[in-house]
Structure 1
Amino acid sequence: MIDELRTERLLLRPLTLDHVDDYFRVYGDPRTWEHLPSGRHTSRGESARAIERSMLSRRVYGFGHCAVVLREPVPGLAAGSFLGSAGAAMLDVDAWNLGYRFAPEAWGHGFATEAAGVALAAARSARPETPVTARVLASNTASVRLLERLGLQPIWRGASSDAPSGPDDTTHLERLIFADRSISDETLDAVIALG
């Protein structure tokens, strides 16, 4: 089980319910959901459930999402600041889903690339036989570039459906799926179906 990860500037610690207020501050901020407004957390309970899923992933698969904390101060941010989260969650198929989200005040420092890179390495270390995937909206060019910098390859582009089936359905939006290796058609179909 992976406990704490370190980079030159960041600490990544397993998320716990002690992080719920900070997590909700980031995940409830509309600015962090510019490309997918319907994904924004609207309650602390929603953030708590996301953290609980990450805690379960860590217990069962050895890794989950982490709180990303600044080790040393940078202009405008104090040491110990909760910047956001980064990590990987096991999907219902045998594949990781790499993800990250950062507070707006942390943008523009390269923290997402740094944290996602160490999270990618941790997922590979926890289960080397399991592919790492990442889903991103095609309109989110910053995340597309980040995944390319990490060396992930685009393996699919499109929409899971022609039209939304309800107000929270986003499967009609164009997405890209990246992976660190070839994956089976069955796994790809399951990742596409997630929207």
Structure 2
Amino acid sequence: MFEPTSVAWPPAPIRTERLVLRASESRDRAAFIELFASPEVSAYLGGPRPREACERELPETPERRPGLFVIERDGAMIGTIELNRRDPEHRSRIRPDAGEAELGYLLLPEAWGHGYATEACTAVLGWYADARPGEPVVLCTQTANDRSMRLAAKLGFTEVQRYEAWGAPQWMGMWSPGAPPVRWHPPAATPGP
């Protein structure tokens, strides 16, 4: 979890050209359910949660926890961005001594392809660089998730390593304030038999 004692939470809403990044509110509940129950959103995250379970378990006012931003466009939630501190219980076996913040994001499928993830993540990374000067951030994704791999490169994450987890190849990148963005290119197709 993000360290609430070191940074005031929730911060004032972060405004970008098209988005508002803010703490969650009760009006966001339906969008949270859509995110968690969407097969498209969770394709690289282990699959969707059953809608009935989401309806039953999600409180009327979704959790307002440090590090969780709602992405709002035109007054409606379109996704979330989260910064979680990689505490000892949740650090990967790949970097067991690292306690960086980890960036995660989810957007509803209708928000894909418009540059909202880039805009929102850039704003949150800028906010984080001001709140925690000089501290790096990591991002993990499946290598098969081309959209996330392209976004990581666009944001300036550089590869730390690749590893196998949850039955699939994974990628871990690191971002440091002021890092120049790099271009990511998908791996060349391997010839078939």
The verdict on a shared fold, with TM-score over 0.5 as the criterion, is yes
Q: Of residues 142, 159, 184 in structure 2, which corresponds to 1:154?
A: 159
Deviating above 3 A after TM superposition, structure 1's stretches of 4 or more consecutive aligned residues are 45-48
What does residue 11 of structure 1 align with? 20
Aligned pair count? 152
Q: Of residues 60, 68, 72 in structure 2, which corresponds to 1:69?
A: 72
Q: Contact 1:157–1:174 at 8 Å: present in 2 too?
A: yes
Once residues 39 and 134 of structure 1 are traced to their aligned partners in structure 2, the CA distance between those partners, rounded to angstroms, is: 19
Is it true that 1:85 corresponds to 2:80 in the alignment? yes
What does residue 172 of structure 2 align with? 177
In structure 2, the gaps of 5 or more residues are 1-7, 89-98, 177-193
Q: What is the root-mean-square deviation in Å for CA atoms of aligned residues?
A: 2.0
Is it true that 1:111 corresponds to 2:116 in the alignment? yes
Identical aligned residues as a percent: 28
Q: Of residues 114, 120, 130 in structure 2, which corresponds to 1:125?
A: 130
Once residues 130 and 31 of structure 2 are traced to their aligned partners in structure 1, the CA distance between those partners, rounded to angstroms, is: 28
SS for the counterpart of 2:49 is coil
Q: 1:133 to 1:47 in 2, by over 3 A?
A: farther
Q: 1:17 to 1:133 in 2, by over 3 A?
A: farther
TM-score by length of 1: 0.70
TM-score by length of 2: 0.71
SS for the counterpart of 1:179 is strand
Once residues 115 and 57 of structure 2 are traced to their aligned partners in structure 1, the CA distance between those partners, rounded to angstroms, is: 28
Once residues 162 and 141 of structure 2 are traced to their aligned partners in structure 1, the CA distance between those partners, rounded to angstroms, is: 10
SS for the counterpart of 2:138 is strand
Q: 1:17 to 1:127 in 2, by over 3 A?
A: farther
What does residue 163 of structure 1 align with? none
**CA apart distance, 1:41:** 3.0
**CA apart distance, 1:108:** 1.1
Q: Of residues 96, 103, 106 in structure 2, which corresponds to 1:101?
A: 106
Deviations 1:78-125 (A, max 9, x none): x21211111312221531110111111111111011111111122222
**CA apart distance, 1:33:** 1.6
**CA apart distance, 1:20:** 2.6
Q: Contact 1:35–1:140 at 8 Å: present in 2 too?
A: yes
Once residues 126 and 22 of structure 1 are traced to their aligned partners in structure 2, the CA distance between those partners, rounded to angstroms, is: 28
In structure 1, the gaps of 5 or more residues are 59-63, 71-78, 161-169, 182-195
Once residues 128 and 159 of structure 2 are traced to their aligned partners in structure 1, the CA distance between those partners, rounded to angstroms, is: 19
1:40 partner amino acid = P
